Amino acid sequence: MSDNAQNSPQNVHEVGLRPTGEFTTDQNAKPVASDAHSLTSGGPDGVIALHDSYVVEKLAAFDRERIPERVVHAKGGGAFGELEITEDVSQYTRAAVFQKGTKTPMLARFSTVAGEQGSPDTWRDPRGFSLKFYTTEGNLDIVGNNTPIFFVRDGIKFPDFIHSQKRLPGSGLRDNTMQWDFWTQSPESAHQVTYLMGERGIPKSWRHMNGYGSHTFQWVNDSGERFWVKYHFISEQGVEGLSGEEAARIAGEDADAHRRDLHDSIERGEFPSWSVEVQVIPYEDAKTYKYNIFDVTKTVPKGDYPRMKIGRFTLNQNPLNFFAQIEQAAFSPGNTVPGHEISPDKMLMTRVFSYPDTHRHRLGANFADLPVNFPHYAEQNSYSQDGPMRYSFKAPSQPNYAPNTMGGPVAGQGIKPADEMRWETDGEMVRAAATLHSADDDFGQPGILYSEVMNAEQQQVLVDNIAGHVGDVQDNTILERALQYWDNVHPELGQRVRKAVEENRGADAKNV
């Protein structure tokens, strides 16, 4: 395949860049007389004239500079780069972006989850890991985290989870008690909370963390064969975390430490990169595998389905304008391309709705028209029209309805029947938990993570972090549930956490 970047004369990260002029103008390109003095009537101490259109424009634009921040993942940063596929995976997917030798321009955005704009980069929190690939078949977004799992498996619980991690409605303060109240009544959270409390719970920087698609996705090859796939983005800088003490110190010294680190490393020419690896699971295997692979609270062990390296991506260009290119960037797991589709993961299916819905609220109905979100290397040929901030439009002769006999675009062209996402399902419509497979339970995998994956030092870090966080729970009933939660993960871990909490509380009492 040819290099995607050759299909456009302009670098993706420069789209929308205006040349710098010699003199100031208003937004209509009219030269302005002053940026220091309003037009007043009756001398310098007179009233400001309403017909000074420039001062009116300047203040009105300033009053509207802020848009609603993201409800989740509000604080973040990002950069542009390139994905290169080095291995042949055409037997699994027909997606042009994943064909060997292809180079695709891309955008990455990293973020915290619970923190608002202005919150410290080093709070203990998962990190969003969002990737937008500007492919020849349209934009492909892989919107995941720096952990391979998540707290809940059904999107109906997502608003409640986020509310529990943010602030109390009365005091406006964050509260450990409500976090543990939610977690202990949602046992599927145990796997993610174990990750969160471990040594990877606070990354040293965005460059020093892995990324994951987290969900299971679907690949389709040229013959229509289907496979399940999980994405892993392995940091080539290594994976390093911060201790709670280091994170607190950095938060006080530089709340933007991670944003600054990424920007400055790229400015120095130290371009961060990640190895792109996948686990491919034969379609039929999902039906009888010991874990439900569509449950995002579970991982698929590498021993059963090894990771395969297929390429790497490198970030080498900082945004030219942070607001236009990062704050207005709109990602969605519903942005798929032929050969890559979603799966029957309940969290994933609800995200496909929720992400574009958020963008329409934050950015407007035509958010996809913004340069950072526009498909630069594929033709956009839809029947959508009008709405606020409409930028692109159809030729005057093209009809705005379908079907038509006026030469307008026709659905079903340029697509194979196999490109339609599909999977088998049967049975009545129900409200129930995901199907349990032979090894499925909520505490098994976090118990394995503690007892078989972590070494002694990592286990001690986990115990200390849990005890420090649980120790702030004020409600004794919730505290006991939290301690039982860790008993369920692993009896030894629960015992150690109980002992550490008691010791910490005893030490606090002596210091009063």
pLDDT digits 0-9 by tens, 424-452: 777 777 788 877 898 999 999 999 999 99
| 105 part of a folded domain | yes
| 243 part of a folded domain | yes
Share of the chain above pLDDT 70, in %: 96
- Same domain? 132 vs 180: no
d(CA 296, CA 349): 12
- Same domain? 169 vs 239: no
Strand segments (E) across 168-307: 211-212, 217-220, 226-235, 273-282
- Residue 104: name the closest of 68, 71, 132 by CA: 132
pLDDT score of 388:
86
Rounded mean pLDDT, 398-411: 83
CATH number of the domain encompassing residue 116 = 2.40.180.10
Q: Could you give the C-alpha distances from 81 to 25, 95, 106, 440, in angstroms and in order?
A: 33, 19, 5, 39
Among residues 328, 345, 369, which one ends one of the domains? Answer: 369
Q: Could you give the C-alpha distances from 456 to 124, 194, 414, 462, in angstroms and in order?
A: 21, 15, 56, 10
- Same domain? 223 vs 304: yes
| 168 part of a folded domain | yes
Rounded mean pLDDT, 317-341: 96
27-31, 237-241, 395-399: which has the minimum mean pLDDT? 395-399
pLDDT score of 434:
78
| 380 part of a folded domain | no
Residue 145 a catalytic site member: yes
Among residues 369, 390, 409, which one ends one of the domains? Answer: 369
- The answer on pLDDT for 79 being more than 80 is yes
23-37, 80-94, 243-257: which has the minimum mean pLDDT? 23-37
Domain that holds residue 467: 155-185+443-506
pLDDT digits 0-9 by tens, 346-356: 999 999 999 99
- The answer on pLDDT for 418 being more than 80 is no
- The answer on pLDDT for 333 being more than 80 is yes
- Same domain? 80 vs 160: no
Contact (Cβ atoms closer than 8 angstroms) between residue 331 and residue 354: no
Question: What is the SS3 assignment for 145?
Answer: strand
- Same domain? 218 vs 233: yes
| 255 part of a folded domain | yes
What value does the mean pLDDT of the chain take? 92
- Residue 371: name the closest of 142, 97, 80 by CA: 80
- The answer on pLDDT for 127 being more than 60 is yes
- 355 known member of a binding site: yes
Domain count for the chain? 2
Residue 73 a catalytic site member: yes
- Same domain? 365 vs 227: yes
**Catalytic residue, candidates 4, 139, 145, 318:** 145
pLDDT digits 0-9 by tens, 13-35: 888 888 888 888 999 998 999 98
d(CA 368, CA 372): 8
Cα dihedral angle (36, 41, 43, 47), rounded to 10 degrees? -70
Rounded mean pLDDT, 274-301: 97
Q: Identify the sign of the CA torsion 440, 441, 445, 447.
A: negative
Q: Band of the pLDDT at 384, cuts 50, 70, 90?
A: confident
pLDDT score of 7:
43
- The answer on pLDDT for 377 being more than 60 is yes
Question: What is the SS3 assignment for 316?
Answer: strand
d(CA 347, CA 156): 8
Contact (Cβ atoms closer than 8 angstroms) between residue 329 and residue 132: yes
Among residues 369, 389, 417, which one ends one of the domains? Answer: 369
Share of the chain above pLDDT 90, in %: 77
pLDDT score of 420:
65
- Look at 139 and 6; give whichever has higher pLDDT: 139
d(CA 349, CA 230): 16
| 58 part of a folded domain | no
| 409 part of a folded domain | no
- Same domain? 180 vs 298: no
- The answer on pLDDT for 214 being more than 60 is yes
- Same domain? 171 vs 244: no
- Same domain? 256 vs 123: yes
- The answer on pLDDT for 265 being more than 70 is yes
Rounded mean pLDDT, 217-226: 95
CATH number of the domain encompassing residue 495 = 1.20.1370.60
d(CA 449, CA 273): 27
Question: What is the SS3 assignment for 99?
Answer: coil
Q: Band of the pLDDT at 510, cuts 50, 70, 90?
A: low
- Same domain? 319 vs 454: no
- Same domain? 161 vs 227: no
Cα dihedral angle (399, 403, 406, 408), rounded to 10 degrees? 60
- Look at 143 and 389; give whichever has higher pLDDT: 143
pLDDT score of 419:
64
| 44 part of a folded domain | no
- Same domain? 258 vs 175: no
- Look at 3 and 13; give whichever has higher pLDDT: 13
Question: How is residue 464 written in tokens?
Answer: 């200390």
- The answer on pLDDT for 5 being more than 60 is no
